[in-house]
Structure 1
């Protein structure tokens, strides 16, 4: 009976989604939470340098970019309308401020959302992450 318990594969309960998403937001390994998830700006490491968890299984693809566009668009569009209706700034000033804001927010969110998507896939044991932790 104890042999069955020793060889049991980790379940989804062993890989809680919430903590994994927070680790992904911090761009840390979803398994140990201390090793860096990304090498460079968006390149996911082959494995964690701390716990040796394999990370190459991820299939983030266009998900982080799509979510970034969705979030930035939903934040900036109403803000643009509010600023325009309230203060009526010059068009060049309005364009410049919002262009810089959109670019800055996009650059901030993109690696964090990629980390969250990889961590979500890890926690749900998707795309080959179901091996030993």
Structure 2
């Protein structure tokens, strides 16, 4: 569920994304390496699958019950499809990256041959232990 909330798979506190869909190379909270992910085309396919299973039955239901004009269908289903796609893409990508982390895929395993160097310009954050106050 951390992935659905776009949070770091290791600590669950830091943000996984540095922008809308760009995965941060390191977690700003715990320093976990996230640059090993290989999400590629899987998140868009998952979004198409989910949005299609929501929109198509609704579209068929509205057509069978009300028989609206084509312009009504266009003005209703196109914005709904676009909106759902844009809203669901980051959580589904987060879930996929978290799944890869949990299964130690694509270099997330420290003994993996797929491990690679961090991308150029990526700086690991300095994580300092917080001392309890008295």
TM-score relative to the length of structure 1:
0.81
Q: Take 1:94 and 1:128, find their aligned partners in 2: how far apart are those partners?
A: 46
Q: Take 1:117 and 1:28, find their aligned partners in 2: how far apart are those partners?
A: 12
Aligned to 1:6: none
Runs of 4+ aligned residues of structure 1 deviating over 3 Å after TM superposition are: none
Aligned to 2:39: 60
Residue 36 of structure 1 pairs with residue 15 of structure 2: yes
- Shift of residue 131, structure 1, vs aligned partner: 2.6
Deviation larger for 55-64 or 122-131: 122-131
Aligned to 1:86: 65
Residue 103 of structure 1 pairs with residue 79 of structure 2: no
Residue 125 of structure 1 pairs with residue 104 of structure 2: yes
Q: Take 1:30 and 1:108, find their aligned partners in 2: how far apart are those partners?
A: 20
Paired residues in the alignment total 111
Q: Take 1:35 and 1:131, find their aligned partners in 2: how far apart are those partners?
A: 21
Taking only aligned residues, the RMSD between alpha carbons, in angstroms, comes to 1.1
Kindly indicate which of the two structures has a greater share of residues assigned to helix: 1
Q: Which runs of 5+ in 1 are unaligned?
A: 1-21
SS of equivalent to 1:43? coil
CA displacement 1:101-131 (0-9 Å, x = unmatched): 0001000111110000000000000011113
Aligned to 1:25: 4
- Shift of residue 30, structure 1, vs aligned partner: 0.6
